[in-house]
């Protein structure tokens, strides 16, 4: 269970480029739930994910995962509990190293790294077994550099690497946004399969309303650094892509009206 309490973050405070990215966000993500995070551009979805992963420390608030306080824990220590897949397919793998070496790095996520031989025979066998179900014919290419693979193949491997050791939390940051529709479909099917099989607690950011309504058990919608909608259970299941788009339209319309005028209209008519 992930508990986020009163998280705030302002980038470049007291300068012209000041950005209030997260303002006072609180939410609890139940164990084994699959939460989809949607929002307008610059709403803070990715920032929230990065705050949880530890790319930066929040100005205020706490982040607790399964009773462990992560708030002040450096990124590389949190990696013990968190698996990540990035938007850019090139971010999640080391291009000049082989597929097997990349997997070996993932097999040691959060563990101490000794002077022992990284690619043992048993480990390579295990790689072959777990890469085969991807149906990408990578099991015979374990010794070729991962940089030679396509974006989709690399993203599929990154997903496999992020979940190689079962993480307490899986963070997916628009991990299909940079892929062509067909490959994106494959990676999405893989995501559902892994999350369901391993019963992973998952937080996924997406731009695709279709993915948002068809995947997961809960939708959080963000706007201007706040969570503005939260759909779960029956409500989430009934939600259609069109409903989400309508909500975005509402937000956009409210934007157009001056906040003071909006307040006045509210008092007069609502």
Partner 1 sequence: MSLLIGTFTIGLILALLSLGVFISFRIFNFPDITTEGSITLGASISAAMIVGGFDPWVATLVALAGGFMAGALTGIIHTRFAVNGLLSGILVMTALYSVNLHVMGKSNVPLMSDKTIITTIENLGMSVFRVSGDITLFGSTVPVKDVFTLASVLFIVLVLGLLLYLFLKSNLGTAMRATGNNQQMIRALGVNTNVMIILGLGISNALIALSGAVLAQFQGFADVQMGIGMLVLGLASVIIGEALISDKSLGYMIAGAIGGSLIFRLLVAVALRLGMNPNDLKLITAVFVFIALVLPMVLKKYKRRGAQSKC
Comparing CB distances to partner 1, the nearer of 93 and 206 is 93
Q: Which of 47, 58, 63, 109 binds partner 1 (CB under 8 A)?
A: 109
Distances (CA, A) of 180 to 131, 175, 183: 21, 12, 5
What residues contact 242, with CB distance under 8 A and at least 6 apart? none
What is d(CA 239, CA 243) in angstroms, rounded to the nearest whole number?
6
Is position 86 an interface residue for partner 1 (rule: CB under 8 A)? Answer: yes
Among 12, 17, 41, 114, binds partner 1 (CB under 8 A): 114
Residue 80 contacts partner 1 per CB under 8 A: yes
Q: Bridge-partner residues for 229, per DSSP?
A: 221
| Buried residues in 66-77 as b, exposed as e (16+ CB within 10 A) | eeeebbebeeee
Verify binding: residue 92, partner 1, rule CB under 8 A: yes
Considering only residues 20 through 79, tell me which ones interact with partner 1, judged by CB under 8 A.
53, 74-77, 79
State which of residues 12, 16, 17, 117 lies at the interface with partner 1 (CB under 8 A).
117
Backbone angles phi, psi at 198, to 5 degrees: -90, -5
The reply to whether 101 sits near partner 1 by the rule CB under 8 A is: yes
CA atoms within 13 A on the CB side of 185: 2
Question: Counting contacts by CB under 8 A, is residue 175 touching partner 1?
Answer: no
The DSSP secondary-structure symbol of 195 reads H
Among 16, 115, 256, 268, binds partner 1 (CB under 8 A): 115
- Neighbour tally for 142: CB within 10 Å: 18
Q: Is 259 a binder of partner 1 (CB under 8 A)?
A: no
Q: Which is nearer to partner 1, 43 or 102 (CB)?
A: 102
CA contacts within 13 A on the Cβ side of 244: 28
Taking the least distance from each CB to partner 1, the nearer of 112 and 234 is 112
Candidates 21, 46, 47, 93: give the one binding partner 1 (CB under 8 A): 93
**Would you mind telling me the total number of residues written for the chain in this entry?**
270
Residue 102, CB half-sphere, CA atoms under 13 Å: how many? 29
Task: Please report how close the Cβ of residue 223 comes to partner 1 at its closest, in angstroms.
Answer: 27
Please count the residues of this chain forming the interface with partner 1, following the rule CB under 8 A.
Answer: 37
Q: Specify whether the CB–CB gap between 98 and 142 falls below 8 A.
A: yes
Q: How far is the CB of 97 from partner 1 (least distance, A)?
A: 6
CA end-to-end distance (rounded Å), the chain: 38
Extract the tokens encoding 246. 């309508």
258 binds partner 1 (CB under 8 A): no
Whose Cβ is closer to partner 1: residue 101's or residue 174's? 101
Give the nearest distance from C-beta 49 to partner 1 in angstroms.
12
CB of 79 to partner 1, least distance (A): 3
Nearer to partner 1, 76 or 121 (CB): 76
List residues near partner 1 by CB under 8 A: 53, 74-77, 79-80, 82, 84, 86, 90-97, 101-102, 104-106, 108-111, 113-119, 145, 161-162
């Amino acid at each position: 269970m992930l508990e986020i309490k009163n998280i705030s973050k302002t980038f470049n405070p007291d300068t012209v480029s000041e950005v209030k990215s997260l303002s006072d966000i609180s939410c609890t993500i139940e164990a084994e739930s699959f939460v989809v995070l949607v929002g307008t551009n610059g709403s803070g979805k990715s920032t929230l994910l990065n705050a949880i992963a530890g790319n930066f420390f929040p100005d205020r608030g706490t982040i607790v995962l399964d009773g462990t306080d992560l708030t002040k824990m450096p990124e590389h220590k949190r990696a013990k509990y968190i698996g990540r897949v990035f938007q850019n397919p090139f971010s999640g793998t080391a291009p000049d190293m082989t597929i097997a070496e990349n997997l070996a790095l993932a097999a040691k996520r959060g563990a101490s790294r000794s002077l022992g031989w990284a690619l043992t025979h048993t480990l390579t066998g295990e790689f072959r077994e777990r890469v085969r179900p991807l149906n990408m014919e990578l099991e015979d290419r374990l010794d070729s550099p991962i940089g030679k693979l396509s974006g989709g193949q690399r993203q599929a491997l990154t997903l496999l690497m992020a979940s190689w050791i079962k993480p307490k939390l899986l963070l997916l940051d628009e991990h299909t946004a940079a892929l062509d529709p067909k490959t994106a479909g494959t990676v999405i099917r893989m995501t559902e399969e892994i999350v369901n099989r391993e019963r992973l607690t998952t937080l996924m950011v997406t731009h695709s309303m279709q993915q948002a309504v068809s995947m997961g058990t809960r939708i959080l919608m963000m706007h201007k650094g706040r969570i503005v909608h939260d759909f779960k259970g029956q409500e989430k299941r009934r939600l259609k892509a069109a409903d989400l788009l309508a909500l975005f339209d509402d937000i956009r319309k409210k934007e157009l009206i001056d906040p003071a005028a909006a307040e006045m209209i509210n008092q007069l008519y609502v």
